[in-house]
């Protein structure tokens, strides 16, 4: 759903093509964060055990519906008062090592037990160190509640090792490509 919302935002001209934005810039992250919020709002409400509640998958993924959801997006202001939705982790990169090394974001679900009242009614956006401080300031000006996560506390973003098998387009030879996450111990080993 989030990808469909991003596609609608691009098609409508509300945002530039993501490929033309600087990766992890405020403009890029704002579009991704807000699309995730909208998608999570719906998925938390509609996605359930199909034996108990039929999920309207076709409706949720229809271009018309996604365009309506995209209409809620404001390129300058965070829509932090999302009534439904409990965001989860996500990833938006592709090369195994680049994907594992790239700074990550995570949107925390609404927590009514949060001690800090200023964070109780908003989903907190965790941003891993490595994102430019100016980007973080721009996101905060847009209304995002941001917390930068550093050093060993970065474990909250998860970790992994990736091994990908590709066929070289020029030679037709099988090529292995791997990556190992800097957030924890491990290594990528092919056989």
Could you read off the pLDDT of 123-139 as tens digits, one per residue? 788 999 888 899 899 98
How far, in Å, CA of 187 to CA of 107, rounded?
A: 28
Residue-level length of the chain: 191
Q: Contact 24/131 with Cβ under 8 angstroms?
A: yes
Gyration radius from the chain CA atoms: 18
Question: Lowest-pLDDT range, 43-47, 51-55, 141-145, 158-162?
Answer: 51-55
Could you read off the pLDDT of 23-67 as tens digits, one per residue? 989 899 999 989 988 888 888 777 777 776 667 778 888 898 888
* pLDDT computed for residue 159 by the predictor: 80
Maximum average pLDDT range among 2-16, 45-59, 77-91, 141-155: 2-16
**109: which DSSP letter?**
P
Is the pLDDT at 14 greater than 90? The verdict is yes
- The CATH class, in words, for 2-157 is mainly alpha
How far, in Å, CA of 138 to CA of 127, rounded?
A: 13
33 CB neighbour count, 10 Å cutoff: 26
Closest CA to 69 of 109, 41, 107, 29: 41
Q: Is 121 exposed, middle or buried (0-12, 13-18, 19+ CB in 10 A)?
A: middle
Q: pTM value?
A: 0.56
End-to-end distance of the chain based on CA atoms, in angstroms? 36
């Amino acid at each position: 759903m989030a990808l469909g919302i991003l596609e609608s935002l691009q098609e409508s001209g509300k945002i530039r093509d993501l490929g033309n934005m600087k990766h992890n810039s405020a403009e890029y992250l704002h579009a991704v964060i807000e699309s995730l919020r909208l998608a999570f709002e719906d998925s938390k409400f509609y996605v359930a055990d199909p034996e108990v509640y039929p999920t309207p998958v076709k409706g949720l993924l229809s271009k018309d519906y996604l365009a309506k959801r995209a209409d809620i997006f404001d390129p300058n202001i965070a829509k932090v008062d999302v009534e439904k939705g409990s965001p989860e982790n996500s990833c938006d990169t592709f090369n195994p090592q680049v994907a594992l090394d790239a700074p990550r974001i995570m949107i925390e679900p609404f927590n009514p037990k949060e001690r800090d009242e200023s964070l109780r009614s908003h989903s907190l956006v965790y941003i891993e160190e490595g994102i430019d401080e100016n980007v973080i300031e721009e996101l905060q000006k847009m209304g995002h509640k941001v917390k930068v996560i550093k050093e060993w506390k970065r474990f909250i973003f998860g970790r992994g090792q990736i091994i990908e098998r590709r066929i070289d387009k020029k030679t037709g030879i099988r090529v292995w490509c791997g990556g190992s996450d800097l957030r924890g111990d491990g290594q990528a080993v092919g056989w």
